[in-house]
Amino acid sequence: MGSFAGAVVAFLQQYYEQDITFVLVEPHVANCYYESFKKNTDQFVTVGGEMQTIMAGLACGEPNPQAWQILKAFIKISISCEEEIAATGMRVLGNPLATDTRIIAGESGAAPFGCFYEIMTNEQYKELKHALHLNEQAKVLFINTEGDTDKESYREIVWHGKYANQ
């Protein structure tokens, strides 16, 4: 878990040679990086148990040791998110406003955007929004790692509102 994120972070940090705020998002039931950062030691944490999550591509529970070395050095914020957040990301990306491009994103790929949407629209996260310097001048990059890999599940979430915020 985290190999792709580690590679992207290492590349961007080296290429841009400037302070970049990296945010890591993972499902609440498989939040090994989140728990590792919370522990605040050099050792990573393995999360066990049933990892029933719609973000199946992120349901591993154990950090890649090489990725852990990179990510612990550069991740500024780690977020453990619920199913509803990923589902919101899927719906918003798939139903853009005005001339924005429609993006078909699966659950794991949409989770970071769902978190961003929640931070930007929910007053409860005002302090986090401020800490991340999310304003009109902010430049935000998302990397979507999947499309609708499970067409039936995608339709249930996007069309029928499965995992909608209550």
pTM of the shown model = 0.90
pLDDT (0 to 100) of residue 166: 56
Give the C-alpha separation, 97 to 102, whole Å. Answer: 9
Give the C-alpha separation, 37 to 71, whole Å. Answer: 10
Helices first, then strands: H and E counts in the chain? 7, 2
pLDDT (0 to 100) of residue 33: 93
- Residue-wise pLDDT tens digits, 93-112: 999 999 999 999 999 999 99
pLDDT (0 to 100) of residue 99: 94
- Residue-wise pLDDT tens digits, 54-66: 888 888 888 999 9
Contact 105, 147 (CB under 8 A): yes
- Among residues 13, 32, 150, 11, the alpha carbon closest in space to that of 74 is found at 13
* Residue type present at position 165: N
Low-confidence ranges of the chain (pLDDT < 50): none
pLDDT (0 to 100) of residue 118: 96
Contact 104, 147 (CB under 8 A): yes
- Among residues 29, 28, 26, the alpha carbon closest in space to that of 5 is found at 26
pLDDT (0 to 100) of residue 19: 86
